[in-house]
Structures are given as structure tokens and as C-alpha cells.
Amino acid sequence: MTRLIDLSYCRFLMSLAGRSLLDISDLSREELLFLLNQTKTYKKTQVSKDGVAFSRQSVALLFFEPSTRTRLSFETAAHRLGLSTINLEEPNSSAKKGETIFDTARNIDAMRPLAMVIRHSGSGIPGQVSRLVNVPVINAGDGFHAHPTQALLDAFTIYEAFNEFKGLRVVIIGDIAHSRVARSNIQALRMLGAQVSVCAPPTLLPPQVEKLGVGVSYDLDDCIHDADVVMCLRLQMERQNSFQVPTLTEFTKRFGLTLERLEKIKETALILHPGPINRGVEMMSVALRDPRCRVIQQVENGVLIRTVLLSEILGVAR
């Protein structure tokens, strides 16, 4: 009898090949049972008695804010390591129906990825998620708080050029108040031995900014000439509850990387920007064409350092 059932299951297997499934009525009772039993068998090969998956092989990318560089470079990094990706983009997800990020993360954890990469507008969300799920969580940028992999790629870009950090003067310019990139870079570059200062109008500096261990300047022309690294930041229009500079033209006049300022920067200096750039606001097009500008190399390095990071965290060969 069992043998007969097995034979008929084989027939169903053949009969499902190439068919569409639009409704349960497209399946017979036997085909339904066939799929249930096949899944039971498959599950045994995937999960041990204690529920640990044997064949985790994907990285989940959960992006609740727009991203070009970070999302695509993590995706590229995962693919370079032979891993697939599960991509969640907030506008097309059940977050739109009211599901919390924490429930979303628990559900994605059930799909057994190797790790989760999370970008969210809420500061601290990746940290909270990391306490709820069973896999490593990598912060791809949370609110004003942190963007650690951006700081890693920036540090690598600087390291490639100078081979050391001690004695390097880094000036970070512009919207420091809303910048997770600035916070993570200040931490990383100071840890590595660089001297970091920030230059911005007072309205674009966080309260008690000196406590971050940085020098503070309100005059770019005063501090640009001795910098080894000039890091411009995007003016984050979408994060400003009331506009914090008189006009964009005024901001550019005082804090933009203009042709006149390019002439004041050391020949050996690097010009960095994490992107996306408001062309003509924080950087003029001429600054992007300048041989000292490493904006495109930063993106290239982002893939490399994220590949190394994923491979080290996951214990996957590269």
C-alpha cells in the first residue's frame, strides 16, 4: 500500500512541474498531501533537533529609509561571498499595514538568514532588534545615531592614502547635528589616532559637540588649509524641523567646497563625501572633478570593507 502511495506521489511530482498555482482548487487532495509530506522531509534536512538551521545562506537587508550605496554594497558583498539576499524595502512591506519593526524582524529571523543589515530612521532600532533575533545585526545607519560601516569605509579610504592616522588632521564640514556619519567617523578616526575637528554654523552642531573630543570651528576658510582630509556632509533637508541656515546660497558661501576653497586645500589632501551629494550646495561640481576627490573610491571601498566585515562576522571564506 505504502509503495503504491509512493508511486502515485512520484506522478504528482511530475504533474506539478511547470504548472501555475493561483488557487488551492488548482491542486487535488493528493497533490496537497504530496506537498505537505515533501516539506516535512525537507524540513528534517534543514533543521536539527534543537531547531538550528543547517543551511543558512542568505543575508537579510531591511531598509526602512532610502539608500543606494549602503544597500547595494551590502547586496554586492553578500553575493561576492556566495550568499543570497532577502530584501525588504519599507514602502513595499507590511510595515505599511502597521506591523512594528520588531515584529517584522522576528518574522524575518524565522526565515533563517545568516545576519540582518538594518537601516532605520529611529536611533537605536538596530540595537533593539539585535536583542530580539538570533543572528548578528549590522547597523546600516540609524537616525542621527551611527553609521559604522560608512566610518569603516571612510577610514579605509584614508588608510589607503596615508597608511597611518597619527597626526592626520580631519575636518568634517556641514550638517554635523543630523549626521550619523559624522558621529561614527569622529569615534573611529579618533580611536585610530587622527585629530578631528568639525566646521559648521552653530545651528548645525549638536549640543556640547566638544565633548565628542573634536575641535570646533565656525569659519571654513580658517581651518581648511591645514587639513589632510576634508570631509563634506550632505545638508539633510529632510531632517531639519525648521530650516537651520538662512538660505542654501548663504550656506554654500560660508561652508561649501567652492573653487576658491579648493585652491586653499593641501595638494596631498583627500576630499571625501559619504553621498548622496547635493551638488552645488555642499560641493561644487568642480570639487567632484578634483584629483584629490575620493568620492567614487569611497563607494568602491564600501563594497570591499563590507565584504570583509560580512565574511568575518559570518565565518564565510572570501
| Site for ligand CP, rule CB under 6 A | 67-70, 141, 147, 150, 274-276
Of residues 223 and 257, the one with the C-beta less far from ligand CP: 257
Q: In terms of residues, how long is the chain?
A: 318
Q: What is the CB-side half-sphere exposure of residue 1 using CA atoms within 13 A?
A: 0
Residue nearest to ligand CP (CB): 70
How near is the Cβ of 276 to ligand CP at its closest, in Å?
A: 6
Q: What is the smallest separation between the CB atom of 237 and ligand CP, expressed in angstroms?
A: 14
Residues 121 and 99 sit within 8 Å (Cβ to Cβ)? no
CB of 269 to ligand CP, least distance (A): 21
DSSP 59-109: EEEEESS--SHHHHHHHHHHHHTT-EEEEEEGGGSGGGGT--HHHHHHHHH
The CA dihedral of 282, 284, 286, 292, to the nearest 10 degrees, is 0
Cβ closest to ligand CP, residue 223 vs residue 271:
271
Question: In this complex, which beta carbon is closest to ligand CP, that of residue 70 or of residue 244?
Answer: 70
Q: Which is nearer to ligand CP, 115 or 223 (CB)?
A: 115
CB of 145 to ligand CP, least distance (A): 13
58 vs 121, which CB is nearer to ligand CP?
A: 121
CA quadruple 77, 81, 82, 86: dihedral positive or negative? negative
Q: For residue 258, what are the contacts with CB-CB under 8 A and spacing of at least 6?
A: 252, 284, 287
Minimum CB separation of residue 62 from ligand CP in Å reads 13
Using DSSP bridges, classify how beta strands 169-173 and 137-142 pair: parallel, antiparallel or unpaired: unpaired
Greatest distance between any 2 Cα atoms in the chain:
89
